[in-house]
Structure 1
Amino acid sequence: MPRYAQLVIGPAGSGKSTYCSNMLRHCENIHRAAHVVNLDPAAEYFDYQPVADIRELIEVDDVMDDDALRFGPNGGLVFCMEYFAQNFDWLKEQLGDIEDDYLIFDCPGQIELYTHIPVMKQFVETLQSWDFRLCAVFLIDSQFMVDTAKFFSGIMAALSTMVNLEVAHINVMSKMDLLSKKAKKDVEKFLDPDPQLLLCEAQHFSPKFEKLNKAFANLIEDYSLVRFIPLDPTDEESIGDLLLSIDTTLQFDEDQDVRIPRDVDEDDADNGACG
């Protein structure tokens, strides 16, 4: 049987660790076994207990304090992730050989790790070689998605990530609970939008970049990457709806349903043979 994993990715400050905590708590409430793995070597705080923590392998602070390396925060994080890529066996040992795992990977917030640095792509390929089915859960702060220009910027980052990682991909508009009623109404048009209509409404775009913006709109339409799932972390139903979408993408429920009838059929066949 395959194992399953969410790769929780997105820009810094988009609420990835909070998402992981809430999703783990929700899985516990519905009696599903799930585990969170911290892959952020710069993490300072999270309120879940990780089944594996990259900081036990390497930490950004240690890299930055090394006089021979002399890295800043971003360079230090990239160094840590490249070191991690050379030591994937460490994670395999941490995870053990348990079947039917459902893992949630809390990933770093540096967007370049998903757009052009090969580390996360290598990680995806390694997990697939370990028989994991993967879904990238790309979080964007809903407070950021307040106008068309920022929407285009965010969705292009999501598209770049999707093309680079080449795995199933779900976009999530996080922190919906922090929006005012007016902001929630304004942001609704970005959940399942028409890029061409948004372009027409955005009169503030400079005429100098009109062709570029039209190209963005066409690209977004061509890849059908225009739908966001809203997430209110204070609403259990909202978390459940998102998990259902992820499960459908991973075919998690189908595997559970298929496995039970197969056992029953085998029992029936055995009984028939005995009779």
Structure 2
Amino acid sequence: MKSIFISGTAGSGKTLLSSKLHEYYTKNGAFAAILNLDPGVDNLPYTCDVDVRDYVDYVSIMQQYELGPNGAMIMANDLIASKIDEIQNQIDKVNPDYLIVDTPGQIELFAYRSSGRFVVENLSAEEKTSIFIFDGALITTPVNFVSIALLATSIRLRLNLPAINVLTKTDLIGDKLKNILEWSTNMRALENAIAKEADGDTFSLTTNILRGLNLGGFAQGLIPISNVTGDGFVNLEGALSRILNLGEEVED
């Protein structure tokens, strides 16, 4: 079994990408399953093969401990780690080729608390990788692009997994798509775009961050996809296969 953790900012399309990636693998003859790690989600566009809501009741936690929504979510996510053996047993019964892990909407609950790292390390799989979603609607300006790139690098550091950077909502950002893709591979072009937009202090801070990210190997480009049209999923699956299957792709 190979595991794919999907992370990104709230509203970036994690859950929809999980669903579409599951559809892609299924259509091409691979056995994929989805693990929902968000205890607070109400509705999902897919049928969960394994669902943490079966083990942790977010509403009951809020009532029992007299917590607000945020406090209950923190406790619920920490409790998930204590259920890891039960969750693993259910995954083993499903026994998919690919386990797609849909992480919580609030990225900080999963990536920055020790319970999230514990889940990543203790879910058993032959190979693991992560997809970080760059929300196309958020990164249409160069300063925002660098900000999200910094977050993506931070998440990679926290999860300690090989990472693939994906650009979503490509069908919504029009002419900005070309600029964003250029920024993701050409640091000089991104610096020039920042210089046109930012004042002195912002330019200095942003370019210093950018150079640090570049030295860390960030400038690998983004894989643009559309969850609506399906464009880009062949390229995404190829990138996943290079990590998970040593380059052997599923049949298309």
In structure 1, what is the Cα distance between the partners aligned to 2:70 and 2:159?
21
Amino acid at match of 1:126: N
Question: CA 1:208–1:236 in 2, change beyond 3 Å: closer, same or farther?
Answer: closer
> What's the secondary structure of 1:178's corresponding residue?
coil
Quote the RMSD (CA, aligned, Å). 2.1
Aligned to 1:269: none
Q: Does residue 200 of the first structure (1) align with residue 200 of the second (2)?
A: no
Aligned to 2:150: 156
Give a deviation string over 1:25-56, Cα, whole Å, max 9, x none.
11121111100111111111112111111111
Determine which of 9, 12, 21 is the counterpart of 1:11.
Answer: 9
Deviation at 1:137, TM superposition (A): 0.6
Determine which of 2, 27, 31 is the counterpart of 1:29.
Answer: 27
Please give the residue correspondences for 1:1-275 in structure 2 after superposition, counting only pairs within 5 Å: 3-66=1-64, 69-96=65-92, 101-127=97-123, 130-180=124-174, 182-194=175-187, 196-202=188-194, 203-226=196-219, 227-251=221-245, 253-254=247-248
Deviation at 1:111, TM superposition (A): 2.2
State TM-score, norm by structure 2: 0.90
Question: CA 1:30–1:131 in 2, change beyond 3 Å: closer, same or farther?
Answer: closer
Aligned length: 248
In structure 1, what is the Cα distance between the partners aligned to 2:159 and 2:222?
19
Question: CA 1:201–1:107 in 2, change beyond 3 Å: closer, same or farther?
Answer: same
Amino acid at match of 1:4: K
Amino acid at match of 2:89: E
Amino acid at match of 2:138: F
Residue range with higher mean Cα deviation, 97-106 or 24-33: 97-106
Deviation at 1:78, TM superposition (A): 1.6
In structure 2, what is the Cα distance between the partners aligned to 1:214 and 1:8?
28
Contact 2:109 2:116 in 1 (8 A): yes
> What's the secondary structure of 1:104's corresponding residue?
strand
Moved >4 Å (runs of 4+): 97-100, 252-256
In structure 1, what is the Cα distance between the partners aligned to 2:214 and 2:205?
14
Question: CA 1:211–1:179 in 2, change beyond 3 Å: closer, same or farther?
Answer: closer
Give a deviation string over 1:183-205, Cα, whole Å, max 9, x none.
333433234331x4322322332
Amino acid at match of 2:198: F
Structure with higher Rg: it is 1
Contiguous gaps of at least 5 residues in structure 1: 257-275
In structure 1, what is the Cα distance between the partners aligned to 2:173 and 2:115?
34
Question: CA 1:242–1:255 in 2, change beyond 3 Å: closer, same or farther?
Answer: closer
In structure 2, what is the Cα distance between the partners aligned to 1:166 and 1:74?
26
